[in-house]
Amino acid sequence: ALLLDVIEDDHSLFLRYDEIRYAWEIVDPILRVWSTERDFIHTYPSGSWGPVESNRIFDRPDQNWRNTGPRA
């Protein structure tokens, strides 16, 4: 189907060059930081509720994640 779109000159599934360039203007700085400063990316075991650091997004002690079931 994608090849047929190319043959029929249907551009709806393809990005223009200016769209790609703009996307890279946004993504490139992020990739540069990630390649040099990896200590801020918090990892966690698969199947868990996520990194402990995610609890810092709440300002007050009465705010917390709503856990809907058991996790590892």
Distance CA 36, CA 44 (A): 20
Extract the tokens encoding 22.
């703009």
With respect to residue 16, please indicate whether it lies within any of the assigned structural domains. Answer: yes
State the residue range of the domain holding 2. Answer: 1-39
Identity of the residue numbered 7: I
Total domains in the fold of the chain: 1
- pLDDT value, residue 71: 62
| Model confidence, pTM | 0.47
With respect to residue 14, please indicate whether it lies within any of the assigned structural domains. Answer: yes
With respect to residue 46, please indicate whether it lies within any of the assigned structural domains. Answer: no
23 exposed, middle or buried (CB, 10 Å; 0-12, 13-18, 19+)? exposed
Q: Is the pLDDT of residue 21 over 90?
A: yes
With respect to residue 66, please indicate whether it lies within any of the assigned structural domains. Answer: no
Contact 49, 67 (CB under 8 A): yes
With respect to residue 6, please indicate whether it lies within any of the assigned structural domains. Answer: yes
- pLDDT value, residue 7: 92
Contact 71, 49 (CB under 8 A): yes
Selected residue with higher pLDDT from 10 and 41: 10
